[in-house]
């Protein structure tokens, strides 16, 4: 048990993203076994815990910050993580979620829930966090330590970044990936 708890604790989360960066993480294929042996994945869409844990070594964040909930999560992530990584273009640049930023949020909600609704045309009031005025890259909201662009970042780039972090090495990310990819 003691050796288990000595492993670095990794969390992954997606905010306003499409899950594609997490799919790319899973595309590391058999190397996932090495990763899982080297770290404890203590919070992620692919593991059980529902509360973001305290005392996380590295958190990989996919997605832009688009809602009040995203913003609250970002603050918790920063407070509880030693290292925060922006994983993929939405977290790094805003990317597709930020394409709505030229419009008012009421215009967006009208478009989605009124103009295109066949029944019950009204803005949602329950279960959805309110949109913030503009979808933002993560580092516009909290300090971010490392950036891995790409839509999604290639599996090799994600694997290299994580293994470099564990080994205490610096990663030349623009040699591994780029905006858009």
Partner 1 sequence: MNMSTLATPQVITLQIDGQDVSARADESILDVARENGIDIPTMCHLDGLDPVGACRLCLIEIEGTPKLLPACMTYAEEGMRVLTDSPRLQKYRRTILELIFAERNHVCSVCVSNGHCELQNMAVKLGVSHVTVAYRYPKMEVDSSHDRFRLDHNRCILCTRCVRVCDAVEGAHTKDVMGRGVLSAIIHDLNEPWGDSDTCTSCGKCVHVCPTGALVEKGTASSEMAKRTQFLPYLTRMREHHS
| Closest CB to partner 1 among residues 6, 102 | 102
Rule CB under 8 A: choose which of 81, 131, 137, 158 binds partner 1: 137
Answer whether the bond into residue 152 is a cis peptide, omega within 30°: yes
Three state DSSP letters for 18-80: CCHHHHHHHCCCCHHHHHHHHCEEEECCCCCCCCCCCCEEEEEEECEEEEHHHHHHHHHHHHH
- Is residue 93 involved in binding partner 1 (CB under 8 A)? yes
Among 44, 80, 101, 163, binds partner 1 (CB under 8 A): 101
Strand partners, 60: 12, 85
Residue selected from 61, 98, 131, 162 as contacting partner 1 according to rule CB under 8 A? 98
Strand partners, 58: 10, 83
Binding residues with partner 1: total (CB under 8 A)? 28
- Name beta bridge partners: 40: 9
Q: Which of 11, 15, 21, 148 binds partner 1 (CB under 8 A)?
A: 148
Contact status, residue 15 vs residue 86, Cβ threshold 8 Å: no
The residues in 17-46 that bind partner 1, with binding defined as CB under 8 A, are none
Q: Which of 139, 154, 156, 166 binds partner 1 (CB under 8 A)?
A: 139
**Residue 174 sits in the site that holds partner 1 (CB under 8 A):** yes
Q: Is 149 in the site for partner 1 (CB under 8 A)?
A: yes
What are the residues binding partner 1 (CB under 8 A)? 86, 89, 92-96, 98-99, 101-103, 134, 137, 139-140, 144, 147-149, 151, 172-174, 178-181
């Amino acid at each position: 048990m003691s050796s288990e708890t000595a492993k670095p604790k990794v969390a992954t989360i997606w905010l306003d993203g499409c899950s594609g960066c997490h799919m790319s993480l899973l595309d590391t294929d058999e190397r996932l076994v090495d990763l899982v042996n080297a770290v404890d994945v203590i919070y992620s869409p692919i593991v059980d815990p529902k509360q973001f844990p305290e005392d996380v070594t590295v958190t990989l964040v996919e997605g832009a910050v688009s809602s009040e909930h995203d913003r609250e999560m970002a603050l918790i992530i920063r407070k509880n993580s030693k290292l925060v990584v922006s994983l993929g273009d939405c977290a790094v640049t805003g990317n597709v979620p930020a394409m709505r930023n030229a419009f008012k949020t009421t215009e967006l909600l009208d478009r989605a829930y009124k103009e295109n609704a066949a029944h019950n045309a009204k803005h949602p009031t329950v279960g959805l966090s309110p949109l913030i005025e503009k979808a933002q890259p993560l580092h516009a909201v909290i300090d971010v330590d490392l950036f891995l662009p790409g839509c999604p970042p290639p599996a090799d780039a994600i694997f290299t970044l994580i293994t470099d972090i564990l080994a205490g090495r610096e990663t030349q990310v623009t040699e591994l990936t780029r905006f858009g990819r």
